[in-house]
Chains A and B, each alone.
Chain A
Amino acid sequence: MANITREEVQKISKLAKLRLTEKEAELYQAQFSKILDSMAELRQLDTEDVPPTTSVLGLSNVLREDSPAPFGEAEDLLANAPEREGPYYKVRKVIE
Chain B
Amino acid sequence: MANDFEPVIIGFTCNWCSYRAADVAGTTRLKYAPNVRLIRLMCSGRIDPTFVLKALADGADGVLITGCHPGDCHYLEQNYKALRRHRLLQRTLAQLGVEPERVHLTWASAAEGAIFAATIDRFVERVRALGPLRWPARPKPLPVAVAPELAEEALP
Indicate whether A and B interact. Answer: no
List residues of chain A with CB under 8 Å of any chain B CB: none
